[in-house]
Structure 1
């Protein structure tokens, strides 16, 4: 009788454990590069919201959308944007069991959108390909050296990919020779459905700035309806490619109409609306984090100097020191 009781108790405990089990998600932050090295003070706030991943973003720079030469890893850049900075950031974060995605990015001087990078001649296309290969392969070698769990091969480069798809297929072959971890690409929200190389990567990466509401302060219900226009298509890509969906960036500004065109960083949008940011973030979590085909995402964006950024008067993307931070912390704790 005692044996039967023990077996029954074990089965009940096992059932309870299984019913409360949630698979681990990538609960990430996009950790913005700075002028400085980072230390424990800068990492504690990341741990406090239960983040388990950080995207580290070395930068390359080009003069204009038609210029083929990428400058990177120079002494004129901020420390966190360079190879030495990437290694230092990763070392510190990994000491706290925070996993890493290295996500090299291009900045066009004057802040023009990288998706518009497009050369005027075959000669310049070749020069751009040579320059980008050098930029991305050197960063892939760094990713392998620091044992980064994920490497992102590019961010929002839709015209470059549209015009030179064969180059990208070959670039992935070359990346795999030097980096052995998981690969993704950060496609813009209106680009991922024509990105031609998902079969060659491990995650379908999307910068998830989907328009979800035209209202100044959208309610939860309005935002839920807004996602119904996008979620089936996103899920269909998982079903087609059998690759998990990863939001390589997600987030909302704390401004009026934050769900209307979430990609905008226009400084003229400056009317602070903390409720709009909180509602939009909560519904994004509701819509995706429970899905087994969804890998997780990287919050845009997180600064190292926690006590000096964000706050209730800030209209930008960061959730730091705003009501939405509590929503993020609670969600990340679940997984």
Structure 2
């Protein structure tokens, strides 16, 4: 049975964590979804996919004091807290495209410069995670073209463990979990879990087997698709256009929950996502994005998780 029922608390307004309405928003998220955990997403930025400077002190990031206060409030609500620092590219590139190959050769100097800044970013939030007793910390998220640098990642993991005593994971790209060669150094195998609706069973089965190989629990940490007809075919693609379909989200999540229930190794599901600046209930019904507030998907999630809570209490 899935133990962790999490919602990603995100959007590109990370600084909203310090705004007056944000605690009410988090409380509403818990009440509307019956989640028992929140994944707090925090985005550092770099200019382009091959930039070497990681900026986590930009004005859109929350102040440390605001973040700490927000985490403490989440704890008061009884939520487990997972901290997920990620990278966003200002030019619109996907973080999976961050790479330091040029003309067929790996640019070692650029990589080392980038990874030093990236490590400072992760270690900063590792210290906050320790200070606030977060249950888990992500040391990376869908950096597909960089996971081959295993020695660097293992070194970062060792540094993180010197600052943070909780569990550590890395979120792999769906279908590419086997590319991560340092699962043995982590506590949990995590994948975005955004397999195509029609290939979900196969993708999940292979990742369950991978987690079993490493004797780790498996978490699917970014399950969701846009509220758009056909979005469940490629749930990880956000820059597409199509007709509004609120049912598309429900149908995709039904596949997620049904398949995860068949595997004891799946111990956590993270839904993508809850807007850190929540839209109105009226506008939500016309919103094609991933956000679940005010949509049938939100009620469906609550029904599934409340039923699971009832069964586990019997």
Determine if the TM-score, normalized by the shorter chain, exceeds 0.5. yes
Q: Is residue 252 from structure 1 mapped to residue 262 from structure 2 by the alignment?
A: no
Is 1:288 the counterpart of 2:272? The answer is no
Shift of residue 307, structure 1, vs aligned partner: 5.3
Aligned partner of 2:27 in structure 1 is 44
Distance 1:26 1:195 in 2: 23
1:40-76 superposed Cα distances (whole Å, 9 cap, x missing partner): 42123222121111011222111111111101123x2
Structure 2 residue corresponding to 1:182, chosen from 157, 160, 167: 167
Report the CA distance between 1:87 and its aligned residue.
1.3
Moved more, 41-50 or 182-191: 41-50
1:107 alignment partner in structure 2: 88
Q: Distance in 2 between matches of 1:263 and 1:47?
A: 24
1:134-145 aligned at under 5 Å gives the runs 134-145=120-131
Worse-matched range after superposition: 285-294 or 55-64 = 285-294
1:72 is aligned to 2:56: yes
Instruction: Mark the runs of 5 or more structure 2 residues left unpaired by the alignment.
Output: 310-314
Q: 2:234 — aligned with what?
A: 261
Q: Does 1:27 align with 2:25?
A: no
User: What corresponds to 1:297 in structure 2?
Assistant: 269
- 2:37 matched to 1:53? yes
> Within 1, Cα distance between the matches of 2:52 and 2:64?
21
Give the equivalent residue in structure 2 for 1:232: 205
Cα pair 2:7 2:272 within 8 Å, conserved: yes
CA distance in 1, matches of 2:41, 2:276: 13
Task: Give the alignment partner of residue 191 of structure 1, picking from 171, 176, 193.
Answer: 176
Structure label with greater radius of gyration: 1
SS at match of 1:100: strand
Give the Cα separation in 2 of the matches to 1:262 and 1:184: 22
SS of the equivalent of 1:58 reads: strand
Spell out the pairing of 1:111-150 with structure 2 (5 A cutoff): 111-119=92-100, 120=102, 121-150=107-136
5+ residue gaps, structure 1: 1-22, 214-225
- Match of residue 62 from structure 1: 46
Number of positions where the alignment pairs a residue of Structure 1 with one of Structure 2: 296
Distance 1:112 1:177, change over 3 A: same
1:220 aligns to what?
A: none
User: d(CA) in 1 for partners of 2:65 and 2:46?
Assistant: 21
Q: Is the 8 A contact 1:56 1:86 kept in 2?
A: no
TM-score for both structures, normalised by structure 1: 0.83
1:113-160 Cα deviation digits (max 9, x unpaired)? 111212252221111121111111111111101100000001111112
DSSP-derived class of the 1:125 partner: helix
Tell me, yes or no, if structure 1 residue 315 matches structure 2 residue 298: no
**Counterpart position of 1:5:** none
- Which residue of 295, 299, 302 corresponds with 1:326? 299
Query: 1:193, 1:144 → 2: CA distance?
Result: 29
SS at match of 1:135: helix
CA-atom RMSD in angstroms = 1.8
* CA–CA distance in structure 1, aligned partners of residues 216 and 65 of structure 2: 32
Change (3 A) 1:78 1:153: closer
Q: More deviation in 49-58 or 96-105?
A: 49-58
